[in-house]
Amino acid sequence: MAQVILDNLTKRWGDHTAVNNVSLLVPQGQLVAILGPSGCGKSTLLRLIAGLEEPSSGRVEINGQDVTKLSPSERQISMVFQSYALFPHLSVAENVIFGLKVRKVGRADRDARLKRVAELVELTPYLDRKPAQLSGGQRQRVALARAIIAEQPVCLMDEPLSNLDAQLRHEMRVEIRALQQRLGMTMVYVTHDQTEAMTMADLVVLMRNGGIEQAGAPADIYNQPATSFVASFVGAPPMNLVPDGNIVRGIRPEHIRLGAGDDGDIARSGKITAVEYMGADTIVTVLTGQTHRVSMRLPGASALRSGDALDFHWKPQDESQFDTSGRRLVTSRPASG
């Protein structure tokens, strides 16, 4: 397997900078999730790694080799796209081995690889079917099998689960992560879905406006956001950002407690605007002042109702603090939470 190094990578189209001076190390054998909102540059960054776009400046290194000027076929990568990109007139087996046939891999080797990969992704009973006869999850397995069978050291994935329903996305998240760990693949996985990034990745890279806002382990991103943007992007509900003079207090919904609290606690009050029962817990949203809303996560069901007045508090050690520009001021919580 191989590591990937991005060195001051930049991509411009005219006056628009899609990727701005990005430097990143993707460690060998790890799954790195590139996360961010639409238009942040994450897919463009993946295309630069793949060789589908030429950088305006900077370089890409894969497995110790500068591949910046090489074509995609010379970069020792495989790719899985948002679209399954399957040939409708070919069987599952023919779709999976198509790339091997193009590279003139021998028949015996193709057959052996197909048998092994089909068992790995549980496609053996479907090898003679056409893509139209498969479910969405099965088609995505075909796309995965096609990437795995190439036996390349680096696999790039561009929002591969966005076309699936919620249940299938969960199942495929588990399958992809298990496959990546079992095979020891180096994987770069682009997604706008924070759940995918946080549950699958060894390293999460959160992008904003073409640059990296923060890169770290999922627990570090969640517990120690480097900026208020990271705090407000990661989490469901996200971290509450409460202005207080020259600072902004950041507090996760699960760290807020009911009541006025003890001396030294941060106390607030307001009126409940929403109560959302989620089964294992309840999300209560409170309006403080004229416009500011704070969400809290309470265990189980709650007797609280919209319109009720409510006092709540949190411990200072549970909060993050940011200056008015959004930069983190203090680190109060350990990364492990």
Q: Is the pLDDT of residue 331 over 60?
A: no
The confidence band for 332, taking pLDDT boundaries of 50, 70 and 90, is very low
Instruction: Please report where in the chains the tokens 């479910």 appear, as a residue.
Output: 135
What pLDDT, on the 0 to 100 scale, is given for residue 1? Answer: 56
Q: Which numeric CATH code is attached to 249-329?
A: 2.40.50.140
**8 Å CB contact between 208 and 45:** no
CB-based burial, 136-146: b 16+ in 10 Å, e otherwise: ebbbbbbbbbb
The confidence band for 335, taking pLDDT boundaries of 50, 70 and 90, is very low
Whether omega for the bond prior to residue 27 falls within 30 degrees of 0, making it cis, is no
Domain boundaries, the chain: 4-223, 249-329
Q: d(Cα 277, Cα 284) in Å, to the nearest integer?
A: 9
Taking only the tens place, the pLDDT of each residue in 256-280 is: 999 988 999 999 999 999 999 999 9
**Whole-prediction pTM:** 0.88
Q: Which CATH number fits domain 4-223: 3.40.50.300, 3.40.640.10, 3.90.1150.10, 3.40.50.720?
A: 3.40.50.300
Number of Cβ within a 10 Å radius of residue 264: 10
What pLDDT, on the 0 to 100 scale, is given for residue 337? Answer: 43
Q: Which tokens sit at 207? A: 């992008």
Average pLDDT, integer, range 71-75: 91
Average pLDDT, integer, range 48-73: 95
What pLDDT, on the 0 to 100 scale, is given for residue 83? Answer: 78
Taking only the tens place, the pLDDT of each residue in 156-171 is: 999 988 877 888 888 8
Q: Is the pLDDT of residue 308 over 90?
A: yes
Q: Which tokens sit at 313? A: 């508090």
Taking only the tens place, the pLDDT of each residue in 10-54 is: 999 999 999 999 999 999 999 999 999 999 999 999 999 999 999
Query: Dihedrals φ, ψ of 218, to 5°?
Result: -50, -40
The confidence band for 336, taking pLDDT boundaries of 50, 70 and 90, is very low
Residues contacting residue 326 through CB under 8 Å, at least 6 positions apart: 227, 228, 229, 248
